[in-house]
Structures are given as C-alpha cells and as structure tokens.
Amino acid sequence: MSALSPEETAWAAADAMWATDYASKALGMEIIDVGPGSAILSMVVRDDMANGHGMAHGGFIFTLADSAFAYACNAYDLITVAAHCSITFIAPAKRGDKLVARAREISRVGRSGIYDVQISVGDAVIAEFRGGSRQIGGSFIEGKQINA
Amino acid sequence: MSALSPEETAWAAADAMWATDYASKALGMEIIDVGPGSAILSMVVRDDMANGHGMAHGGFIFTLADSAFAYACNAYDLITVAAHCSITFIAPAKRGDKLVARAREISRVGRSGIYDVQISVGDAVIAEFRGGSRQIGGSFIEGKQINA
Amino acid sequence: MSALSPEETAWAAADAMWATDYASKALGMEIIDVGPGSAILSMVVRDDMANGHGMAHGGFIFTLADSAFAYACNAYDLITVAAHCSITFIAPAKRGDKLVARAREISRVGRSGIYDVQISVGDAVIAEFRGGSRQIGGSFIEGKQINA
Amino acid sequence: MSALSPEETAWAAADAMWATDYASKALGMEIIDVGPGSAILSMVVRDDMANGHGMAHGGFIFTLADSAFAYACNAYDLITVAAHCSITFIAPAKRGDKLVARAREISRVGRSGIYDVQISVGDAVIAEFRGGSRQIGGSFIEGKQINA
C-alpha cells in the first residue's frame, strides 16, 4: 500500500478500533480528533451515568479518559494497552454536561508510554488523568486489510 | 434514634446511597457485603462493556472498583468523596465474566482515607485499585430520616 | 509593604523556604528558576546516591522532583504541602549525571493543586512525576518579616 | 549449588544487593527482615533529611519505601526494577524519628508485580507507598558466584 502520513495512520487505526469498540459507542462517545499520540473524545453525562444528586459517577469520567488514552496511544498503529492509570477528580460534572477529554503524549520510550488526559466541561477542568501504556505488538490496519 | 452497630450503620448508609445510585444499578452491579470501611460488589461483563475482542473496557473495571471504594469509605455514614484513584491492570476480563471487587480500608486519619480494591474473576486477580478519599461532611442516614 | 509581582513573590517564598531546606541543600540541589506555579531545580548524581552499578537510586530522583514540586506549589506564598505523588521511571541516570527537574502547574482549584515535574539529563527524559498538593494556610514571607 | 529455601534466597539476594547499595547505606538504612516478596527496612530521620521545621523531607520517606520495595521484589533473585511508584503522605515525621517501612507483595503475574509499603513511626502510619515492578532478567546470586 502507499505510505500513510502520521495523521492518516492515526485515523486509520482509530477507525479500525472504533468498529468494534462497543463500549465507547454504547456510552455515546464521539471521536472529535486523533493524531500521532493524541486524541480528543466527547461524551454527554446521561441519567444512567449519574448518582442521585445528578452528578456523574467518577467511573464514567475515567472511562471517557481511558478511551481517549487508548486512541492516542494506538495512533501509531502499534497495538498498545493500558498498564496503569491514575485520575484526580477536581470538580463534579452534572447530568447533561458534555465532557471533553483531550489526550496528549508525554513520553514514549521503547514499548512504554505516558499519556495525560484533561477532562473538561466548557472551560472548567473536571479531572486530570495519567495513563501508562505498553505496546504489545500487532497492527490494527494490517489486521483489517487481511480481513478485507 | 437507637444507636446502630458499625455493621448496621454501614448497611444503612449503603441502602441510602444505593437508592439513587443509578449508575451502579444501570451497570448491573450488586452489593454482596458492606462493613465498616469495607465493601464487596460484583458485576458481569456485558456485551456493551466489551471491545471487539470480547474483552472488558478498562473503564468498566475501574467503575466497579470505584463503586466498591465509595461504599467502603462511606460506611461510617460520613459523606466522603473520591479525590484520587489509581488502577493497575493485571489480566484482561472477557465478556460474561463475573467481576468481584473487594474494598478494604488501609488508612483513615482525619478527613482523609486510603482504600484498596482487588478486582478478580474467580481466583484470578484482574486489577488492583487504590483510592484516596476525602470526607466532606453530612450524613446519608440522617438526611434520609429528615426526608421521611 | 509594597506589593510584589507574582515573580517577586515566587522568589521571596523560595528564598524563605531555602533558608531552612537543609535536605535539598545537603543533596546539592540548586534552584535554577521559580515563577508562579513553576520551578526548575538541578542536582548532580553523587556516588552516595548510586547503587553498585553506578545508577541513581530512584529515591533521589523522586526527591529532586519533590523539591521542584514544593517550590512550584508554594510560589504563591500560601503554605502548601504534598498530599500524593507518583513517579514513572523511564530511563536510568548514572553517577555524575546532572538531573534537571522542571515543575509546572496543571491545575489549582480551591486549596488543591496538581503539578507535573519532568526530570531529564540533557535531552533525555529520565522520569515523569505528578504531585497533588494541599494548601494548609500561612505565609513564608510574612513569617520572615515578623522575624526581621 | 545446593538448593536454597525461599527465605535463604531472599537473604542471599539482599546480601548481594546491599554490598553495592551505597545509597541506602549512606542514608543509614538497616535491613530488619526479608522474605519471599517482603522486606522490612528502617531509617532514622537525620538533621540533613529535614526542613527548617524539623520535619522529614518527603523524598527521604519515599526513598526508604523505595528501598524496601526493591528488597521485596528482588527477593526471588530475579533482577527486578521499579517502573511506577506512588506515595500518599498521611502524617509528618520529625527529626530523630525512626521510620520503619514494611513491604509486602500484592500481586506477581508474569514479569510484573505490585508491592505495598507502609511507613510508620511506632504505631503511627506516616505514609502508604505502592510500587509497580518489572522483572528484567538476571540474578544477583549467580552473578556474585561468577565473580567469586
């Protein structure tokens, strides 16, 4: 095949992942942008993601961040998994809020990477996430081509 | 009211939280046990929690652990929120697996606490979670009585 | 007193802290720069900071990062302490290497803050540190003036 | 050689590590106990580990915990390094306090492990540390024999 640019590779890997990412789809996530080592995803806090006070369960904020992390660290089309993640909750999000998670690469050395994800609602930062990734080998795009 | 034992207080707080914990209910979680500073919750990995390989999205494993953490750190009926959480993924969980999260208190000094949650499928450990909590004041049980 | 600029406040707080920061001095650290929410410190890996392979003990890399974090989060002259820190080790540092730790503010809401510190040797990143801070009240500069 | 018991292996690995662990020695650490996946180390807070208020710099508390973690995760005589560490500071330690760090294994699967270290002064818990390790291959004991 003709060589893909880094941006094209990031989108091709994202498309291949998204096809079977039933979890992120079921939560109503949308991919706003992807690039080499970066990704922006959004999700609206639904009623079934909230507690009785109408505030988002922290697990769903984490899940959006974790998805953004996954699209960012797999954007080189080298299959990579999350090894360790941490999140600090800064402010609550409420039902109906549109969460935006912006993932960016902090470090990538050998098979290990570090990615930071900021989760915000409008201008307000809701949480800060940091993920450590480990490349395990394999390709999304090639796998897809083989199946085509 | 007549004094509740620590175990009764833990269950009363859990019942009050559960009533409006739409997020944990929607994910099919069940509270297996609660006690002072501890909680055990379970959840089956559904199709819409999995990726195309049939493996659970890490966000749902985190969410189960985060709920177990919440029931454990609120078991004294002093309203407490998650401030910082970290998770290490050890082995994948697949569609249909029954995840069990066991939360226990590591430290509680002043208004801050540390809770560890082990997530397993049968005898296999899937992930280890550690949460830092902060007590913000207020009571689930008293709040409920006022509304009664 | 005449109002200090944010940069002057950062330096005045740093000077007051440094006066009694026997630990950082004993390790040979130097303050290269401070500003509002930021700090750059350096330290050379001495023989007594290394193991038998001539590699720096991770604890000293952490300690340099922790000091940079402290100078960054106290730069507003509001006394602030470390609550939770994490570090990922990316590459080893060897005896004689000059470590540089650059701390920058990621978030500051209410009394809680998040600061990231990158530790490098020349162009090579050695470790990434993230610290969560909590403001406990009090002032370095005012305290110093009272004593003057 | 004759087979060593797990306890003998842990001590043999610890002895081999200690011989060149100039950093831990220079800080006045002592190994109280080691076993398979566990270690107990102590260290007294010296004047040059404290700030002007006579409180221990958090970096030295971390360093003691990190050493205990290292002796615990290398106790199988399979050379293992720290990949990611986090620490929560619970209470301050002051000059002259004897810190005791107790490391225990939480998980060991494949080449990755998780170890928790509790740092205390007498009955008071000062900090909780969690470390993630990665086995990189090689042996302390065999290496020593080859050199003998």
Domains contained in chain B, CATH given: 6-147 (3.10.129.10)
Of C20, C21, C88, the CB nearest to D83: C88
Give chain B as a 3 state SS string.
Answer: CCCCCHHHHHHHHHHHHHHCCHHHHHCCCEEEEEECCEEEEEEECCHHHECCCCEECHHHHHHHHHHHHHHHHCCCCCCEEEEEEEEEECCCCECCCEEEEEEEEEEEECCEEEEEEEEEECCEEEEEEEEEEEECCCCHHHHHHHHC
DSSP A78: S
pLDDT at position D146: 39
On the question of pLDDT at A146 being above 60, the answer is no
- The mean pLDDT of B15-20, rounded to a whole number, is 94
The CA distance from B114 to D126, in Å, is 12
Q: What is the pLDDT of residues D93-110, one digit of tens each?
A: 999 999 999 999 999 999
pLDDT at position A147: 37
- The mean pLDDT of B83-110, rounded to a whole number, is 96
CA distance B106 to chain A (A): 18
- Cα–Cα distances (Å) from B142 to A118, B21, B71, in that order, read 36, 18, 17
- Cα–Cα distances (Å) from C143 to C1, C138, C146, D43, in that order, read 14, 8, 5, 32
Of A19, A47, A62, the CB nearest to B63: A62
Share of chain B above pLDDT 70, in %: 95
C107 touches chain B (CB under 8 A): no
Of D48, D64, D81, the CB nearest to C23: D48
What does the mean pLDDT of chain D come to? 93
A 10 A CB-CB count for C93 gives: 27
pLDDT at position B3: 85
pLDDT at position C142: 76
The residues in B 69-88 lying below 8 A from A, measured between CB atoms, are 81-88
A39 DSSP β-pair partners: A34, A103
C113 DSSP β-pair partners: C108, C133
Q: What is the pLDDT of residues A27-41, one digit of tens each?
A: 999 999 999 999 999
A33 touches chain B (CB under 8 A): no
For chain D, first and last CA: distance in Å? 14
Extract the tokens encoding B107. Answer: 């430290």
With residue D105 as reference, give the H or E element that holds it: strand D98-109
B2 pLDDT band (50/70/90 cuts)? low
CB contact under 8 A, B67 and A57: yes
pLDDT at position D143: 61
CB contact under 8 A, A132 and D84: yes
With residue D63 as reference, give the H or E element that holds it: helix D58-73
CB contact under 8 A, B88 and D114: yes
DSSP A2: P
- The mean pLDDT of C48-59, rounded to a whole number, is 90
On the question of pLDDT at A75 being above 60, the answer is yes
- Residues 6 or more apart whose Cβ sits within 8 Å of residue C33: C39, C40
B51 pLDDT band (50/70/90 cuts)? confident
pLDDT at position A3: 85
- Cα–Cα distances (Å) from A55 to A93, B14, C107, in that order, read 6, 18, 21
B148 pLDDT band (50/70/90 cuts)? very low
B144 pLDDT band (50/70/90 cuts)? low
CB contact under 8 A, D59 and C58: no
D140 pLDDT band (50/70/90 cuts)? confident
B147 touches chain A (CB under 8 A): no
B111 touches chain C (CB under 8 A): no
D66 pLDDT band (50/70/90 cuts)? very high
What does the mean pLDDT of chain B come to? 93
Residues of C in contact with D47 (CB under 8 A): 22
CB contact under 8 A, A125 and C109: yes
- Residues 6 or more apart whose Cβ sits within 8 Å of residue C147: none
C21 touches chain A (CB under 8 A): no
CA-based Rg of chain C, rounded to a whole angstrom? 15
Residues of D in contact with C17 (CB under 8 A): 51
- The mean pLDDT of D77-106, rounded to a whole number, is 96
On the question of pLDDT at C67 being above 80, the answer is yes
B133 pLDDT band (50/70/90 cuts)? very high
Angle at the Cα of B97 from the Cα atoms of B94 and B100, rounded to 5 degrees:
120
CB contact under 8 A, D51 and C22: yes
The CA distance from B74 to B34, in Å, is 10
CA distance A22 to chain C (A): 31
Q: What number of helices (H) and strands (E) belong to chain D?
A: 4, 6
pLDDT at position D24: 96
Specify the residue for token string 């007294």: D44
pLDDT at position A148: 32
The set of chains that have 3 or more CB pairs under 8 A with B is A, C, D
Residues of B in contact with D132 (CB under 8 A): 88
| Nearest partner of C33 among C85, C82, C103, judged by Cα | C103
What does the mean pLDDT of chain A come to? 92
A 10 A CB-CB count for B137 gives: 8
pLDDT at position C103: 98
The CA distance from A41 to A46, in Å, is 16
